[in-house]
C-alpha cells in the first residue's frame, strides 16, 4: 500500500509529447532523455520531466490529460498551429487514439464519472508501490479550435471528453486567449451554451480578461482553472488578478498552479534566464498556492496543474524539481508554512477530486 500522499495533476500534455515530441512515455525517463541527446528541434530536448513510470514513482495517480491542436491564425503567431480546424480535429483524434492505446496496454485508465474515479482511487490506494497500476486520467481539450462546430461536442463527450478550455494563445475560433483581446464571438457563446447543456467543465485557463469575465456571466456550470498562476506575484496577462481569483473561488473553482518558470517569478527571459540564476525553487511554486489560499481564507481552492513538459523541460523548472516525481516534496514545504495534514492532502489531490465527485454525482 502506498504511504505518500496521492498527487492529482490537473494539466499534463501527455499525448502531445507522445505524438509531436515522439516520446514513448511508457519508458523510463532517463531513457527518454538519453534518446534525445544532441537533438535541437525542440527547446526542451533531453530535459523532459514526465513519463508514466516517473508518475507512478512520484504517486501521481490521477491527472487531467489534454487534447491540444490550435489553429494558426497568421504566419507570425508565436505558437505553432494547424492551418485549418479540420487538421486540428484530425490531430486531436490521433492524440485520442494514443490514449486508447495506453488504456489497452494497461498503462492508463480513462475517468469520466464518479464511480470510475472512486474505483480507480480504491485500486491506487490498495496497490503496492512496485505495481504497475494504471494512471487515471480525465480528458480535457486545451483550446477549442479543433471543434468544427458546437454540435460536435456531443461526439467529443461520447469519446470521453470532460472539460474544455475555449482558447489557448492568441485569437481563437471561439474565444480570445493569452495576449489577445476581446470577448466571445457568436460561435463561442453557442459553444458555452452547449457545454453547459452537456455538463462539461469550463476551464478558464488562458482566457483573456474580457473572455474570462464574459465566460463567468454566460456559463452557469462547473468551472476550474487547470494551470493558472497569480498576477499579483508575476505581473502578466497570462496570470489571473486577485479579482479573477476571488471570482473563481466564489464559484467553487479549484485553481491549479503551474510550474513553468516564467509564470513563477517576475522578470524571466525565455531562452536566457536560468533557474539557477533566478534562484528558482519549489518555494516560489508554493507562493502561488499560498496566495490562492490566503484569498480564499482556506485551502480548498488550490491544487496542482503542473503543465510539466508543456513545451518546456527541467531547463525551465525550479532547481529542486528534476522530474514530476519531485512534486512529492510539496507536502513538507506546505507543512513548514503551517498547513495542516488535511490542507496538504486537499492541495495535493483532494480539492480536485472533491470537485469532480460533486460535478459527476
Q: How confident is the model over 136-159, as a mean pLDDT?
A: 96
**Cα gap 63→198, rounded to integer Å:** 22
What are 219's three cell numbers?
A: 456559463
Question: Is 88 contained in some domain?
Answer: yes
* All residues at 6 or more sequence positions from 342 whose CB lies less than 8 Å from its CB, including other chains: none
Q: Which pLDDT score, from 0 to 100, does residue 160 have?
A: 98
Sign of the dihedral defined by the CA atoms of residues 161, 125, 11, 236, in that order: positive
What's the rounded Cα separation, in Å, for the pair 357 and 303?
Answer: 15
Residue-wise pLDDT for 23-34, tens only, equals 999 999 999 999
pLDDT bin (cut points 50, 70, 90) of residue 361 is confident
- Angle between the N-to-C axes of helices 114-126 and 351-360, in degrees from 0 to 180, rounded to the nearest 10: 140
- For all residues of the chain together, what is the average pLDDT? 96
Q: Is residue 273 part of a domain?
A: yes
Q: Taking residues 153-182, what's their average pLDDT?
A: 96
- Residue 135 C-alpha cell reads as 494512471
Q: 72: pLDDT confidence band, cut at 50, 70 and 90?
A: confident
pLDDT of the residue at 3: 65
pLDDT band of residue 74 (cuts 50, 70, 90) is low
pLDDT at position 1 is 57
Give the phi and the psi of residue 306 in degrees, each rounded to 5: -60, -35
Nearest to 34 by CA among 45, 22, 50, 19: 45
pLDDT in tens, 299-330: 999 999 999 999 999 999 999 999 999 999 99
pLDDT value of position 257: 98
Using the predicted structure, report yes or no on whether residue 4 has a pLDDT greater than 90: no
Q: How confident is the model over 201-228, as pLDDT tens digits?
A: 999 999 999 999 999 999 999 999 999 9
Helix (H, G, I), strand (E, B), or coil: what is residue 145? Answer: coil
**Does residue 336 have a pLDDT over 90?**
yes
- Which CATH number does the domain housing residue 289 bear? 3.20.20.140
Q: What is the mean pLDDT of residues 86-114?
A: 98
- Is residue 2 one of the residues assigned to a domain? no
Integer Cα distance of 359 and 361 in angstroms: 6
Note the pLDDT of residue 349.
Answer: 98
Would you state the pLDDT for residue 346? 98
What's the pLDDT score for residue 78? 62
Q: How confident is the model at residue 157 (pLDDT cuts 50, 70, 90)?
A: very high
In this predicted structure, which of 3-7, 159-163, 306-310 has the lowest mean pLDDT? 3-7
Calpha distance 117→164 (Å, rounded): 19
- In a domain, residue 281? The reply is yes
Q: Is the pLDDT of residue 129 over 90?
A: no
Q: What is the pTM of this model?
A: 0.97
Whether pLDDT at 69 is above 70: yes
DSSP string, 225-267: BSS--BTTTS-STTSBPHHHHHHHHHTT--EEEP--GGGTSTT
Burial status of residue 229 (CB atoms within 10 A of its CB: 0-12, 13-18, 19 or more):
buried
In-domain check, residue 288 = yes
Contact 165, 203 (CB under 8 A): yes
- Residues 260 and 305: their CA atoms lie apart, in Å, by 10
Supply the pLDDT for residue 162. Answer: 98
Strand-strand pairing, 223-224 and 7-12: unpaired
Q: Is residue 338 part of a domain?
A: yes
Q: What is the mean pLDDT of residues 13-41?
A: 97
How many structural domains does the chain have?
1
Residue 200 lies in a domain: yes
Q: Which residues pair with 138 in a beta bridge?
A: 64
* Residue 1 domain-assigned (yes or no): no
Parent domain of 148: 7-360
Decide if pLDDT at 48 tops 70: yes
- What pLDDT does 270 receive? 86
Task: Name which of 49-58, 103-112, 130-139, 187-196 the model is least confident about.
Answer: 130-139
Amino acid at each position: 500500500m502506498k504511504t505518500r500522499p496521492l498527487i492529482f495533476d490537473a494539466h499534463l500534455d501527455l499525448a502531445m509529447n507522445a505524438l509531436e515530441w515522439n516520446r514513448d512515455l511508457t519508458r523510463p525517463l532517463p531513457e527518454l532523455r538519453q534518446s534525445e541527446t544532441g537533438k535541437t528541434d525542440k527547446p526542451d530536448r533531453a530535459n523532459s520531466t514526465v513519463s508514466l513510470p516517473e508518475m507512478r514513482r512520484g504517486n501521481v495517480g490521477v491527472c487531467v490529460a489534454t487534447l491540444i491542436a490550435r489553429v494558426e491564425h497568421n504566419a507570425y503567431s508565436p505558437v505553432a498551429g494547424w492551418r485549418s480546424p479540420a487538421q486540428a480535429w484530425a490531430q486531436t483524434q490521433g492524440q485520442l487514439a494514443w490514449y486508447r492505446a495506453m488504456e489497452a496496454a494497461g498503462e492508463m485508465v480513462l475517468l469520466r464519472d464518479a464511480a470510475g474515479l472512486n474505483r480507480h482511487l480504491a485500486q491506487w490506494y490498495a496497490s503496492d508501490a512496485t505495481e504497475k497500476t494504471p494512471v487515471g486520467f480525465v480528458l480535457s481539450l486545451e483550446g477549442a479550435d479543433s471543434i468544427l462546430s458546437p454540435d460536435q461536442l456531443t461526439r467529443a463527450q461520447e469519446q470521453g471528453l470532460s472539460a474544455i478550455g475555449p482558447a489557448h494563445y492568441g485569437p481563437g475560433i471561439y474565444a480570445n486567449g493569452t495576449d489577445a483581446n476581446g470577448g466571445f464571438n457568436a460561435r463561442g457563446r453557442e459553444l458555452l451554451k452547449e457545454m453547459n447543456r452537456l455538463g462539461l467543465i469550463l476551464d478558464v485557463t488562458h482566457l483573456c480578461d474580457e473572455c474570462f469575465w464574459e465566460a463567468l456571466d454566460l456559463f452557469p456550470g462547473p468551472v476550474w482553472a487547470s494551470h493558472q498562476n497569480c498576477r499579483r506575484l508575476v505581473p502578466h496577462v497570462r496570470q489571473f488578478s486577485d479579482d479573477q481569483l476571488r471570482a473563481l473561488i466564489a464559484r467553487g473553482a479549484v485553481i491549479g498552479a503551474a510550474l513553468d518558470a516564467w509564470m513563477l517569478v517576475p522578470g524571466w527571459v525565455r531562452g536566457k534566464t536560468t533557474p539557477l540564476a533566478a534562484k528558482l525553487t519549489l518555494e516560489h511554486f508554493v507562493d502561488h498556492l499560498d496566495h490562492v489560499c490566503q484569498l480564499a481564507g482556506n485551502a480548498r481552492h488550490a491544487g496542482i496543474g503542473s503543465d510539466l513538459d508543456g513545451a518546456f523541460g527541467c531547463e525551465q523548472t525550479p532547481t529542486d524539481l528534476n522530474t514530476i516525481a519531485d512534486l512529492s516534496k510539496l507536502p513538507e514545504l506546505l507543512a513548514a508554512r503551517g498547513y495542516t495534514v488535511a490542507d496538504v492532502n486537499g492541495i495535493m489531490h483532494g480539492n480536485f477530486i472533491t470537485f469532480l465527485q460533486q460535478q459527476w454525482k
